[in-house]
Structure 1
């Protein structure tokens, strides 16, 4: 069995609070869905929303016609005689998804009509659609409540519409009230009663059961599933495409036409356009889902992939990572060192493990990009410290020169000085040299100052400051590592002071 996917990111997904795609973004998303992901059908808009939406739909339709995708473009319309039909027809779109009432409550309380009256109105739209050569699918809005409260109403509509020109009967859990048990029961009843019609299931995620309900619907014989990228949609959203595809392919061993390797890239693009962040632990596409934290997991992966399942990251255009922190252990660190092409002796490996655990205890985030800097810091650090910083204060104020107060210990004696400078580190170093002048101690010449920031744009990344010095005709460099570049420079400076103390 092959499952057909309708993605409604551009219609239902745009009903997410605060989300509104620009026209160019909607066109790009349509291209991603149809070309890169190979989605079977996409729902791109609701009829009559706005003039801007109208122009955007026409733009997408022009592209779809030029690239032979027009039969896969759909627009939501309403039971309003020919108003929605005319709107859809004028855009060039060929398929309209007609929103009807799938529960008796909606029919009688919202429309204030009898089921018979609503049926007459629906059939009028169907006749007009046939004349206008527009293909019709039908949404039975609030179908899940209809099946819960009054299934005879649902059967009344479907019995009278099953032999019309409707292509797909679409069964929405509009308010997200279903669970996998009643989803399976309701879908089986529909499937068995109407074995020859195309059925779609449209899940909402109010109880975080959308993917489970999709599983149950497909298991009951439903052959069409509605999704959105990243689970965008009204309230808690719709069934997320990536999770649905992984579940269908792995758990039910059912094929779709979706290109898995583009799912992560597509999700990141929609994240950028929508402004809705993807949770780090979101299945398949979250930042953390292919990251092992516990050292025992990394060790197991080295021994016949003991901690891997069928959700291999390569399927989705991703790589497995091994987190660096207090729980990572030697195996995680070794994995990252291997990936970075770094080899360490046993003593350095021990120091590196201890340093990463300490950083983890401080809730610092350590990534593979940080690793070379930490290794460098360990390899260039000495054990004997005759000079150490006791404390310091750095002050930065608008319109005033930075001020630094420094207290250091030299061979067991404490000294303190305050100075101003052109920057915080400049003020720090001037205060330091005041102490050295007071003690008639020679000072080095700073020849170069370089700050290295790991790629990725993270503001909490570890920063390496490398300072080149000249002292007694000898040139050398010292390095400091910290999340704050000034603190990293101070660490490099203290390392320098201890080095020249022994020259």
Structure 2
């Protein structure tokens, strides 16, 4: 049973709109094909009532109504009447599974609580509803008041109850205790259908679920992305992986739809999925270390049973400072690009340098980096930007102090401009004018980032020049102005050091 729409919505800051609840319910039942969904708590709000009504109307049309469940309370007919108005047919009744909760929260004796449970179930059955029962704080009850908890189970056996649901309400159990408690109950009450409901306060929810299954529990509760009170519930994505790979249990859920459902719930809940979250996290099927990519290239040495294709995903090879040649090759194969050995070394070195600056490189960045590397001319550059200092102040024009090396000699100039790049170009022009060299005319300036906008590694600046011929140069850097300066440096080396006196001759040749 998935309880994303009930217990998951108890996550701090999460509230689904009625229309969002309906969309999630559709995905859970039709796409992921869970057996049951718990969609709300009775009496919460008018919005909650409308949300449940939307779901039950759709579910009745599809024949799913018996798979839609609502949490209710031991309150006579009040919760039952709310469920009737909402169009629901299955009541999950919340009772007290520990003597501590019973005595201090309800201030009742067991006999009084049992009588009220019986009355509420009687109202539900009279209304044609099916009933399951939660034993709230069951885990504490098994630790400290087991005689009471067992007496409640025996009493529920005398009523028309389909499932008894065992929640680790406070997320306190260790796998050893799950083994002991559920093993004993399944042995002592073999006719009872027990569900296990795990919370994740100690990050043990999935381990506890695995132990519960091994001990013979009949049903499991989960939420998408592990949403839920405090640290959340057992995440459905991890439960499915564990059931498939570590048990003999078979289920009808569609693993390949998990990621899609997970991303929709992420969007509706507003809670970002951690990048390292198992199964659905952004990084979980990404190899970063070059040695891992190399092993995968040779014989899938770093694969396990969690193949991304199972969950509608693809394996990726991260690009960063730990990338090796194998990582780069995997990404190049995906793009259909092949490089010479020396070119591959240069691209790898560039990616490692970016990673050292803690900048993230994506597959979409790779063609830009390759283009930049391939455009670099081999050998010594005739013109080189040796150093610069830029200022940008409110109310004042930006300034640049520039040091250029031309044919082995260093020259400096200071200039201001309408922007930092304009100030840079004014400084270049000062040096070239002083030395009597010509510069092309800048005709177009364009800045872009790789598709998707996910990079934080660089921007690409493309500048178009007119020097009797039209040509373009590109520069890459995380800073837009520096990228433009690199594009300009490439231009300066492309045209060479042309004296102003050659301008007339060149123009005459062009006119001919």
Query: TM-score with structure 1 length normalisation?
Result: 0.95
Corresponding position of 1:180: 175
2:415 equivalent among 406, 413, 418: 418
Which secondary structure does the structure 2 equivalent of 1:211 belong to? Answer: helix
CA distance in 1, matches of 2:222, 2:300: 32
- The residue number in structure 1 matching 2:509 is none
- Unmatched segments (≥5 aa) in structure 1: 1-5
Query: Which structure 2 residues correspond to residues 211-230 of structure 1 after superposition, within 5 A?
Result: 211-230=206-225
Deviation at 1:374, TM superposition (A): 0.8
CA contact (8 A) 2:400 2:420 kept: no
Question: Contact 1:188–1:220 at 8 Å: present in 2 too?
Answer: yes
TM-align CA RMSD? 1.6
| Displacement of 1:347 | 1.0
Alignment of 1:68-79 (within 5 A): 68-79=63-74
Cα contact 1:387–1:408 (8 A) shared by 2: no
Give the aligned partner of residue 439 of structure 1: 435
Please name the residue that 2:480 is paired with: 485
Q: Give 2:265's aligned residue.
A: 270
Q: Residues 468 and 273 (structure 1 numbering): CA distance in 2 closer, same or farther, change over 3 Å?
A: same
Deviation at 1:40, TM superposition (A): 0.8
Q: State whether residues 11 and 232 of structure 2, in contact with CA within 8 Å, keep that contact through their aligned partners in structure 1.
A: yes
Q: Report if aligned partners of 1:417, 1:432 keep a CA contact under 8 Å in 2.
A: no
Higher RCO (CA < 8 A, seq sep 6+): 1
Q: 1:179 to 1:149 in 2, by over 3 A?
A: same
- The alpha carbon displacement at 1:313 in A equals 0.4
Instruction: Tell me, yes or no, if the aligned pair for 2:354 and 2:457 is still in contact at 8 Å.
Output: no
Task: Kindly indicate whether the alpha-carbon contact (under 8 Å) linking 2:383 and 2:405 is maintained by their aligned counterparts in 1.
Answer: yes
Q: Deviations over 1:91-117 (max 9, x none)?
A: 110011100000010011111111111
Query: How far off is 1:274 after superposition?
Result: 1.0
The residue aligned with 1:3 is none
- Could you tell me whether the CA contact under 8 Å between 1:417 and 1:435 is conserved in 2? no
The 5-angstrom pairing of residues 22-421 of structure 1 reads: 22-382=17-377, 383-396=379-392, 400=395, 402-411=397-406, 412-421=409-418
Could you tell me whether the CA contact under 8 Å between 2:402 and 2:427 is conserved in 1? no
**1:279 positional shift:** 0.8
In structure 2, do the counterparts of structure 1 residues 488 and 201 end up closer, same or farther at CA, with 3 Å as the change threshold?
Answer: same
**Whole-Å separation in 2 of the counterparts to 1:496 and 1:404:** 22
Post-superposition Cα deviations, 1:193-225, rounded to whole Å, max 9, x if no partner, equal 111121110000000000000000011001211
Determine if contact 1:404/1:431 at 8 Å carries over to the other structure: no
CA contact (8 A) 2:165 2:195 kept: yes
Equivalent residue number for residue 470 of structure 1: 466
Question: TM-score with structure 2 length normalisation?
Answer: 0.93
Superposed displacement of residue 304, structure 1: 2.3
Partners in 1 of 2:90 and 2:380 — Cα distance? 77
Q: Which has the larger radius of gyration?
A: 2
Higher deviation after alignment, 481-490 or 96-105: 481-490
Measure the CA separation in 2 of the matches of 1:406 and 1:253: 71
Residue range with higher mean Cα deviation, 405-414 or 8-17: 405-414
> Is the CA contact (8 Å cut-off) linking 1:16 and 1:233 kept in structure 2?
yes
Change (3 A) 1:434 1:414: closer
Offset of 1:474 from its aligned partner? 3.0
Hey, what's the Cα distance between the residues in 2 that align with 1:395 and 1:278? 40
1:139-191: CA deviation from partner (whole Å, max 9, x where unpaired): 00000000111111111011111132111110000000011111111111111
